[in-house]
Structure 1
Amino acid sequence: MSTDQYVHILDIPFINTTKEQFIAQQVLPALSQNIPLHIVTANPEIVMEAHQNPRYHQIVKEADYVVPDGIGVIMASKLVNNRLSERIPGIELFERMLEIAHDHNKSVYFLGAKEEVVEQAVTNIQYQYPGLDVAGYHHGYIDIHDQAVFDEIQTEEPDFIFVALGFPKQDEWIHHYKGIVGKGILMGVGGSFDVMAGESKRAPKAWIKLNLEWLYRLIKQPSRLIRVLKLPLFLIKVLWGKYIKKG
């Protein structure tokens, strides 16, 4: 892939594409050829963590693809005069991959969240996608080097592995796992299991269309205010980095 298909924000290379183009051009070919892929769905918080954490920064840069999850990343791309095509919410990419797994008879594995949450998420997903091949699931209260979990997943050889351990842990786990296996689309999905389990809800479509999902979540969870307040700092750092480069 040519370098002009990436937009660099605080030294993180975001692929400049749409959700459906990404599925068609990156996911499906890798799936058909059994090529392992590490996909990071990065919002401003993840970019900031990578900016401050050298080890995590390296892991994200070594991922196969970083997609823009968060309107703040789209805003930042405008600031560097290289606008990303569209926001690709991790939950939507997750749901799209579940459809592909169902339609193409591919197996899936779920790792993360509380035991009762991941169990309910899997139950709801199987109801939504009857006949989906669930290779297995495991709660997220593990050490990232837990050999028993590795062995279980390696035995099943799932085509998709969705990891909901929160960042940076989920990408650290994927980075380690990918180094010892030969197949699988691996993606960190944050709180998506909670959504699938019915523990939390996405914003109504009208809010999502207006790029106000962050505001809806803040209204529902006022405790997220501290996280929201990080966005201005993120944008300031992007601007500062832009002017430093010019100088």
Structure 2
Amino acid sequence: MTEKYVEILSIPFIDSTMDEFINQMIYPRLMNQEKTFVVTANPEIVEYANEHQDYKDIITSADYITPDGVGIIMASKWLNQPLQERITGFDLMNELFRIADEQALKVYLLGAEEAVIETAAVKVQEKYPGIELVGYNHGYIDIKDECLAKSIAELEPDIILTALGFPRQEKWVSMHYPLFKKGFFMGVGGSFDVLAGKVNRAPVLWQNVRLEWLYRLIQQPSRWKRMLVLPKFVLKVRRKRKRLQRS
């Protein structure tokens, strides 16, 4: 299929449904053992990338950037280039687990607190017995540590999920990508916390009314500073819309 992209504040997002993305783009690459780097981006990541060129270079070098946050979907509509669907890191992670379970793929989990990653690993093995979980490690690491990266590469995982939070998780992938002969790499933020039951994902009702961010903020009030990015993002998108309307 011909891949389509929509640019939101200079970041190119794949324009696809989850079903198309998994079955027509990701699944073939996994089966062909084709190295793949996916970034799931929300408005915070877009803002950070536009303020930090080194990080922007990293994420724009990825094979795909998916629209994780509802703010990205709304921005695409304001710019008259509506993206088809949200493709969240958490949902994509579970789709990857489903494929790995069916195809007996090797998976490695990197990130979160030690107790969280241990619990998450147990939950994954219980729910997806067909997965070969070749290892896991907490996220309190020096991302420049090549020894850990080499030890992971030697396990030859098919899927490597990094829950180090942005920008660390994408920087880790970028630094150590050349060490791996194969592998699907994706940063999953706080998804291991949800897997382990430390944090609850917003109920479907909250997701449907686009208040997933508020539900998470209620659970983790320490995230309030990060929420301040959203008005700035909205303002930039609306300014761009006005420029487009004038041109």
TM-score range, shorter chain: over 0.9
Deviation at 1:133, TM superposition (A): 0.5
Structure 2: runs of 5+ lacking an equivalent? none
Residues 4-153 of structure 1 aligned to structure 2 (within 5 Å): 5-153=4-152
Partners of 1:80 and 1:108 in 2: how far apart? 38
Give the conservation status (yes or no) of the 8 Å contact 2:100–2:130: no
Deviation at 1:14, TM superposition (A): 0.2
Deviation at 1:244, TM superposition (A): 4.6
CA deviations on 1:130-180 (whole Å, 9 max, x unpaired) are 242001111111122212211211111100000011101100111122223
Question: Which stretch of structure 1 is more off in the superposition, 145-154 or 132-141?
Answer: 145-154
Q: Sequence identity, in percent?
A: 48
Give the conservation status (yes or no) of the 8 Å contact 2:108–2:135: yes
Partners of 1:244 and 1:62 in 2: how far apart? 28
Deviation at 1:242, TM superposition (A): 4.1
In structure 1, the residue matched to 2:177 is 178
Partners of 1:238 and 1:210 in 2: how far apart? 21
Question: Which stretch of structure 1 is more off in the superposition, 216-225 or 184-193?
Answer: 216-225
TM-score (norm 1): 0.94
Task: Please state whether the residue corresponding to 2:179 is helix, strand or coil.
Answer: coil
Partners of 1:153 and 1:223 in 2: how far apart? 32
Aligned length: 246
In structure 2, the residue matched to 1:239 is 238
Task: Please state whether the residue corresponding to 1:179 is helix, strand or coil.
Answer: helix
Deviation at 1:86, TM superposition (A): 0.9
Structure 1: runs of 5+ lacking an equivalent? none
Question: Which stretch of structure 1 is more off in the superposition, 202-211 or 163-172?
Answer: 202-211
Partners of 1:179 and 1:13 in 2: how far apart? 23
> Structure 2 counterpart of 1:119, which letter?
E
Question: Which stretch of structure 1 is more off in the superposition, 201-210 or 5-14?
Answer: 201-210
Give me the CA root mean square deviation.
1.6
Deviation at 1:234, TM superposition (A): 0.3
Partners of 1:233 and 1:15 in 2: how far apart? 23
Question: Which stretch of structure 1 is more off in the superposition, 214-223 or 116-125?
Answer: 214-223
> Structure 1 counterpart of 2:81, which letter?
N
> Structure 2 counterpart of 1:31, which letter?
L
Partners of 2:55 and 2:235 in 1: how far apart? 21
In structure 2, the residue matched to 1:224 is 223
Partners of 1:222 and 1:29 in 2: how far apart? 40
Partners of 2:102 and 2:123 in 1: how far apart? 17
Give the conservation status (yes or no) of the 8 Å contact 2:58–2:170: yes
Partners of 2:152 and 2:207 in 1: how far apart? 35
